[in-house]
Amino acid sequence: MFCSLSSQDKNKKKYDPCKHPLIKLAETKGLKAVPLKDTIKLRKLMKECEIDGGEKQISKLYDNDWDRDFKRARRMASWTSTHAMLVSVSFVYYFAGKVLATKPGNGE
């Protein structure tokens, strides 16, 4: 009986919240890739992971997410200024054409 009880302890796996699929998804694709319905569960898993000694893993997760957002924002910032310039030039040409255009038939 003692052998059977001790063998069952070997088969039990310790639960590791740091290896949960939601945390792996957040590490690879970012925190915003986690579905909205799972955000509360992700936060609980992150707290459990920090308690179990995964502070570096969670801080790296946040750092990677900030870097990913920074790179996307930098790319969009250059696109936004280019778009604004094109729109302003289009407005200037449109209103300049309205002001300088002559009516047809006034050839005197």
pLDDT at 1: 59
27: Cβ contacts below 8 Å, ≥ 6 apart: 57, 60, 61, 64
Does 107 fall in a domain?
no
Lowest-confidence range among 2-11, 45-54, 85-94? 2-11
In a domain, 57, yes or no: yes
Number of domains in the chain: 1
Confirm whether 9 is domain-assigned.
no
What's the CA gap between 35 and 42, in Å, rounded?
10
| pLDDT at residue 70, rounded to an integer | 86
- Maximum separation of any 2 CA atoms in the chain, in Å: 117
CA dist., res. 91 & res. 85, Å (int): 10
| Average pLDDT value over all residues in the chain | 82
Tell me how far apart the alpha carbons of residues 80 and 74 are, in angstroms, rounded to a whole number.
10
* Domain contains 18: yes
In a domain, 4, yes or no: no
Domain that holds residue 73: 14-100
Nearest one of 52, 47, 46 to 24, comparing CA atoms? 46
pLDDT in tens, 14-31: 778 889 999 999 999 988
8 is a domain residue: no
State yes or no: pLDDT of 103 exceeds 60.
yes
Mean pLDDT within 72-80: 72
**CA 76 to CA 70: how far, in whole Å?**
10
